[in-house]
């Protein structure tokens, strides 16, 4: 079973993101802070990550940097505009909030 990491400071929003992933057969891990995400990334076994863009991850050693180092594909799940995200992280996939389960 594949494992998805949801990195979102608001646990209620993370649980909304978790549901459609679980229905698709993912084991879902939730991190509500960069420190939690770092620990889960270090543990290994993550197949994909969905990250809140506004989370504190912009420093090179942050969550996004660690995901890149470990070659874990990621999607930004965010209310930020795709242009704002692309400015910091060119070429990333953006899933705009709010979103449907089908998205």
* 17-21, 45-49, 64-68, 89-93: the lowest-pLDDT one: 89-93
* Most distant pair of Cα atoms in the chain: their distance: 34
* 27-31, 73-77, 83-87: the lowest-pLDDT one: 83-87
- Predicted pLDDT of residue 53: 79
Judged by phi (left if over 0) then psi (alpha if -120 to 50, else beta), residue 71 lies in left
User: Which are the contacts of 87, defined by CB distance < 8 A and separation ≥ 6?
Assistant: none
Does residue 87 or residue 17 have the better pLDDT? Answer: 17
Domain boundaries, the chain: 3-96
pLDDT band at 85; cut points 50, 70, 90: confident
Rounded to whole angstroms, the Cα distance separating 87 from 28 reads 28
pLDDT tens, position by position, 27-43: 999 999 889 999 999 99
CATH architecture entry for 3-96: 3-Layer(aba) Sandwich (3.40)
Angle of CA points 69, 72, 75, to nearest 5°: 115
């Amino acid at each position: 079973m594949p494992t998805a990491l949801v990195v979102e400071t608001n646990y209620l929003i993370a649980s909304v993101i978790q549901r459609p992933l679980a229905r698709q057969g993912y084991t879902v891990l939730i991190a509500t802070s960069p420190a939690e995400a770092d620990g889960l990334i270090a543990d290994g076994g993550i197949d994909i990550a969905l990250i809140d863009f506004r989370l504190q991850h912009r420093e090179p050693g942050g969550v996004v940097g660690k995901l890149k180092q470990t070659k874990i594909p990621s999607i930004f799940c965010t209310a930020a505009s795709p242009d704002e995200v692309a400015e910091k992280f060119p070429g990333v996939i953006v899933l705009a909030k709010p979103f449907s389960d089908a998205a």
